[in-house]
Amino acid sequence: GENVEQHPSTLSVQEGDSAVIKCTYSDSASNYFPWYKQELGKGPQLIIDIRSNVGEKKDQRIAVTLNKTAKHFSLHITETQPEDSAVYFCAASSNNNDMRFGAGTRLTVKP
């Protein structure tokens, strides 16, 4: 089955700096890679996703990149703000919709 590894487990940045979270996956059949943000006391919320037929996708300050050959994908947050502080999860799934999550990254943005 799919195995998703996520790094780093914690990340602290200064407001305005960029943050990068990286994930690797094991199953070459995986074709859908979403990212979730979990704020304190809430459920994970989908913030951006990418499919295996594209290499990059951007939505305002958030971008995701995918390297299918290396089985890597990354989340990039630019101009970070204190409200970006949360736990971020990457995930990977194939057409069977069996989604596997990374272990999470706790991002802290210091004002």
Partner 1 sequence: DTAVSQTPKYLVTQMGNDKSIKCEQNLGHDTMYWYKQDSKKFLKIMFSYNNKELIINETVPNRFSPKSPDKAHLNLHINSLELGDSAVYFCASSSLVAGANYGYTFGSGTRLTVV
Residue 35 vs residues 21, 51, 110, 111: alpha-carbon distances, Å:
10, 12, 22, 24
The whole-angstrom separation of Cα 30 and Cα 1 is 10
Q: Choose one: 19-27, 61-69, 71-79, 96-104; the region binding partner 1 (CB under 8 A).
A: 96-104
Q: Is 101 in the site for partner 1 (CB under 8 A)?
A: yes
Q: Is 99 in the site for partner 1 (CB under 8 A)?
A: yes
In which residue are the tokens 């939505």 written? 59
Q: Is 106 in the site for partner 1 (CB under 8 A)?
A: yes
The whole-angstrom separation of Cα 16 and Cα 33 is 26
Q: Is 34 in the site for partner 1 (CB under 8 A)?
A: yes
Contacts of 40 (CB under 8 A, 6+ apart): 86
Q: Is 87 in the site for partner 1 (CB under 8 A)?
A: yes
Let me know: does 63 contact 76? Beta carbons within 8 Å. yes
Contact pattern from residue 38 through residue 77 relative to partner 1, giving x for each residue in contact according to CB under 8 A and a dash for the rest: x--xxxxxx--x-x--------------------------
Chain length of the chain: 111
Beta carbon nearer to partner 1, 51 or 61: 51
Residues that bind partner 1 (CB under 8 A): 31-32, 34, 36, 38, 41-46, 49, 51, 87, 89, 93-95, 97-101, 103-104, 106
